[in-house]
Amino acid sequence: MSTESTQSQACCNTPAVVSKGYQPKGEYIEVQGMKTYATGPKDAKQGILFIFDIFGFFPQTIQGADILAHTDKDHPYQVFMPDVFDGKPADISWYPPDNDEKGAKLGEFFKTAAAPPKTLERIPKIIDELTKSKGIEEWGLVGFCWAGKIVNISSFEGTLFKVAAAAHPAMVAGDDAKGVVIPFAMLPSGDEDRTEVEKWQKNIKTPNVVEWFPDQIHGWMAARGDLEQEKVRKEYERGYKLLLDFFHKHM
């Protein structure tokens, strides 16, 4: 189990992170009736299912998917990001939930659109369709924010994935690690519950990395990442390099 900072080995040619005006490299397709961002070489045999944070399709998030798909020419991935919120993501103005109205709206969103069972039941159908239509032979899974819970549960016995990762995961519960049967990387921010993450870390039995980003906010690798700030941009890039290292090693 790794708990210390690790030097990223995933290619040194990571594309420069764009803070404004990012131009996506992929395209939108339909998968199981959902608008889905698809990126990466279409002949790649390894796929990554990318579950975005509660704010849906955001330039920072799309850029992250492109980094995973295109950084290493010798180890490419097809990356797919389905709109599991069916066009109704949370409004980023609700965050942080610093008043009753914002808190109520976010609370309702987590009970409805972001309720884990709704997405969990879709994942096997998504994977089945993409495996057949895109020629994917093995899969990895990565999730952000609320999707950290989805990723953890999807890593239990009978999983469809070879490797999984969660960045700034919400709803971390120490006991959830006991069911994980595949390699798992977790990248908590300074806003995550350290006690629960440490319990999780003690309980996991598979190869794993837990890398803290204590000076970053919850959401820095997705929609809430202010990439105009140099420190955030560098940590965003480091986070995606760590994900690439982990996927390269275990897929």
pLDDT of residue 1: 34
Put simply, whether the predicted model's pTM sits higher than 0.85 gets the answer yes
Identify whether 91 is part of a domain.
yes
Percent of the chain with pLDDT over 70: 94
In the chain, how many domains are there?
1
Identify whether 10 is part of a domain.
no
* pLDDT tens sequence across 130-170: 999 999 999 999 999 999 999 999 999 999 999 999 999 99
79 forms beta bridges with: 39, 48
pLDDT of residue 4: 32
Identify whether 143 is part of a domain.
yes
Identify whether 195 is part of a domain.
yes
Identify whether 1 is part of a domain.
no
Q: Work out whether strand 184-187 and strand 208-210 pair parallel, antiparallel, or are unpaired.
A: parallel
Identify whether 167 is part of a domain.
yes
Identify whether 89 is part of a domain.
yes
Q: Which domain holds residue 204?
A: 27-250
CA Rg value for the chain: 17
pLDDT of residue 122: 97
pLDDT < 70 stretches in the chain: 1-16
CATH number of the domain residue 168 falls in? 3.40.50.1820
Identify whether 162 is part of a domain.
yes
- Please identify which residue in the block is written with the tokens 């490797």: 163
